[in-house]
Structure 1
Amino acid sequence: MSDPEAPLAPPAAPRVMICPHCDWPAIQEVKGQAEEPPEDPADEASPLSSEFTLLQCANCHKVSLQLRDIWFFDSPNEVPQFVYPARRQLSDDIPEKLRQEFGEARTCFDTKAYTATVVMVRRTLEGIAANNGITERNLVRQISKMRDQGLIDTSIADWADGLRVLGNQGAHYTGRKVSREDANDALDFAEALLDHIYVYKRRFEEFKKRRDAKLPHQTGTH
Structure 2
Amino acid sequence: MPDVETSTPVQSTQRVMICPHCECPAIQEVKGVVVVPKDDPEDHDSPDFEYTLLRCTDCREASLQVRELWFFASLNEVTKFAYPAQRQLSLDVPTELRREFEEARTCFEAKAYTAAVVMVRRTLEGIGVDNEITERPLARQIERMKSEGLIDQSIAEWADSLRVLGNQGAHYTGRQVSREDANDAIDFAEALLDHIYVYKKRFEEFKKRNVAKSTPPITT
2:23 match:
23
2:155 match:
156
CA contact (8 A) 1:19 1:57 kept: no
User: 1:83, 1:68 → 2: CA distance?
Assistant: 10
1:115-144 deviations in whole A, cap 9, x for unaligned? Answer: 111111111111111221223221111111
CA contact (8 A) 1:118 1:166 kept: yes
CA contact (8 A) 2:53 2:62 kept: no
Query: Equivalences for 1:141-220 in 2 at 5 Å?
Result: 141-217=140-216
Q: Which moved more, 1:169-178 or 1:17-26?
A: 17-26
User: 1:152, 1:51 → 2: CA distance?
Assistant: 35
CA contact (8 A) 2:33 2:51 kept: yes
How big is the shift at 1:91?
1.8
CA contact (8 A) 1:68 1:77 kept: no
Query: Equivalences for 1:108-119 in 2 at 5 Å?
Result: 108-119=107-118
User: 1:57, 1:79 → 2: CA distance?
Assistant: 24
User: 2:169, 2:151 → 1: CA distance?
Assistant: 24
User: 1:202, 1:79 → 2: CA distance?
Assistant: 23
How big is the shift at 1:63?
3.6
- Name structure 1 gaps, 5 residues minimum: 1-9, 70-75
1:99 matches 2:108: no
The one-letter amino acid of 1:21's match is H
The one-letter amino acid of 1:33's match is K
CA contact (8 A) 1:109 1:184 kept: yes
1:63-97 deviations in whole A, cap 9, x for unaligned? Answer: 4245689xxxxxx9999864321333322222222
How big is the shift at 1:190?
0.7
Bigger CA radius of gyration: 1
1:165-194 deviations in whole A, cap 9, x for unaligned? Answer: 100100111000011221121111111101
User: 2:98, 2:24 → 1: CA distance?
Assistant: 25
Fraction of identical pairs, as percent: 64
CA contact (8 A) 1:68 1:81 kept: yes
The one-letter amino acid of 2:58's match is A
Q: CA RMSD in A?
A: 3.6
CA contact (8 A) 1:33 1:51 kept: no
**The residue matched to 1:17 in structure 2 has which SS?**
strand
User: 1:12, 1:77 → 2: CA distance?
Assistant: 27
TM-score (norm 2): 0.72
User: 1:15, 1:82 → 2: CA distance?
Assistant: 14
**Number of aligned residue pairs:** 195
How big is the shift at 1:57?
6.1
User: 1:25, 1:150 → 2: CA distance?
Assistant: 43
